[in-house]
Chains A and B, each alone.
Chain A
Amino acid sequence: MSALLDHLPEFWQGLIVTLQLTAASFAGAAVMGLVVTALRVSPVPVLRGIGTAYVETLQNLPLLVLLVLAVFGLPEIGIKAGLLVTAIVVIALYEGAYIAEALRSGVNAVSAGQGEAARALGLTFGQSLRHVILPQALRTVVQPIGNIFIALTMNTSLAAAIGVVDLTATANRVNLLEAQPIPIFVGAGLAYALIAACAGFVTGRLERRLAVIR
């Protein structure tokens, strides 16, 4: 226990970095997900193709590979960014593909008649999506998106591998000093579990609140 308590300030700092990674990359992933979903259901074949290519590429590569490639590859092409920012962007792009797929299943769950009614009233494709389709789609995918949020939280620990000092990296460093892996990693694990539990609680509340009477 003392191994944990003696290093509370470091763990606190690591937790803050993990929360930053989680919040920022989820926000980015949500925006990416919306954009890619709009592409994938667009009436323009080229745009649909771009959306599909995006999802297929990012879902089929391991996040760790993407992180390492970004850290070493981006400076090669003249883009210099801090490790934290690089990690946030890569995780956002990667998880964006998953959010896009969840959203698309939500869009498919909205009956075709809703879109037809919107278009028949003169709403453009974008307006139909924004005012009619997506609000209904989002309500049906609160739970899957909550799951993606939790997976994303866990995936932020991969940022430790490229040198971001998050909760996992902190646990690693403290363990090198103290050599007490069990309490240290159980402690770090509990912190992740707490974030996930909060996310589960929020999605449960959201789902009940947003439920549409059908």
Chain B
Amino acid sequence: MIRVQGLNKWFGDHHVLRDIDLEVAQGEVVVVIGPSGSGKSTLCRCLNRLELAGSGEILIDGVPAPVEGRALARLRADVGMVFQSFNLFQHKSVLDNVMLAPMKVRGVSRTEAEKTARELLARVGIADQAGKMPAQLSGGQQQRAAIARALAMRPKVMLFDEPTSALDPEMVGEVLDVMVQLAADGMTMVVVTHEMGFARRAADRVVFMDDGQIVETAKPNAFFESPTTDRARSFLAKVLTH
């Protein structure tokens, strides 16, 4: 579904992604973990070209990701993205947030879009919040609305860029539950996160990044029980002791 080959990215002199190769199969859930500044968010944002890669190739569903213009917009329509800071459209109700892109990008009728939107809001458990403005919702509800908004485009892949990092601890669970359900339904997902519990529970594969490189890739059990590299071992020692 996604194939990344020889991806490099610089911010000025800072080499943030080094020769990244990654393949994500249809229906696979890949969880990317690693210390802050390891480039995992940047990698996630490169996948739908919110960041432009310096060099390398990104293929989505066998097609090279276009660099700009309408072709890029079409690619993004098929790739859902969920952000750390939710990024719901502040001036639109939750329902309108979910309806906007299907109507404007896919040309779906208003009635059809509303029907889908209400179904999705029910699926993420906030059907009763449809008429509210984003700022009237809790963080967890906003993030679930953002997931519904991305799903409304019927994406082939979903990218999650630290979806629970901006949430109060008691709201993390409600968002992760939605994501676990989504994974169980067979969605192809790339999830950048610090939630090790989620990685164990829902990941088909864990990708460990450090210093702009993919250091280790393994099944979650194998990775958490017996990491093969020192860097992964020391990272896990730090995050799992508490």
Contact = CB atoms under 8 A, between A and B. Distances in A.
B74 interface: yes
A212 B90 contact: yes
A77 interface: no
A127 B83 contact: no
B26 interface: no
Interface residues of A, number: 22
A213 B100 contact: no
A117 B133 contact: no
B48 A120 contact: yes
A132 to B, nearest CB: 5
Interface in A83-132: 111, 113-114, 116-124, 127, 131-132
Contact of A213 (B83, B87, B104, B135): B135
Interface in B104-151: 104-105, 133, 135-136, 146, 149-150
Contact of B101 (A43, A122, A139, A212): A122
A42 B150 CA distance: 25
Interface string A58-100: 0000000000000000000000000000000000000000000
B133 A122 contact: no
B73 interface: yes
B190 to A, nearest CB: 13
B101 to A, nearest CB: 4
Interface in B56-100: 68, 70, 73-81, 83, 85, 87-91, 100
Nearest to B105: A122
B87 A122 contact: no
Which of A116, A118, A121, A136 has the most C-beta atoms of chain B within 10 angstroms of its own C-beta?
A: A121
Interface string B160-174: 000000000000000
B25 interface: no
Contacts of A139: 91
A135 interface: yes
A116 B50 CA distance: 7
B90 A122 contact: no
B153 interface: yes
Given A123-B104, A124-B73, A212 B91 contact: yes
A66 to B, nearest CB: 36
Nearest to B149: A121
Nearest to A113: B87
Contacts of B149: 121
A132 B89 contact: yes
B33 to A, nearest CB: 22
A135 B75 CA distance: 25
A123 B91 contact: no
Question: Which 3 residue pairs across A and B have the least CB separation, nearest first?
Answer: A122-B77, A117-B87, A121-B101
Given A120-B81, A122-B74, 4 more contacts: A116-B50, A122-B76, A122-B101, A212-B91
17 contacts: A43-B68, A113-B83, A113-B85, A114-B87, A114-B89, A117-B87, A119-B73, A121-B76, A121-B150, A122-B77, A122-B105, A124-B73, A132-B89, A136-B89, A212-B90, A212-B133, A212-B135
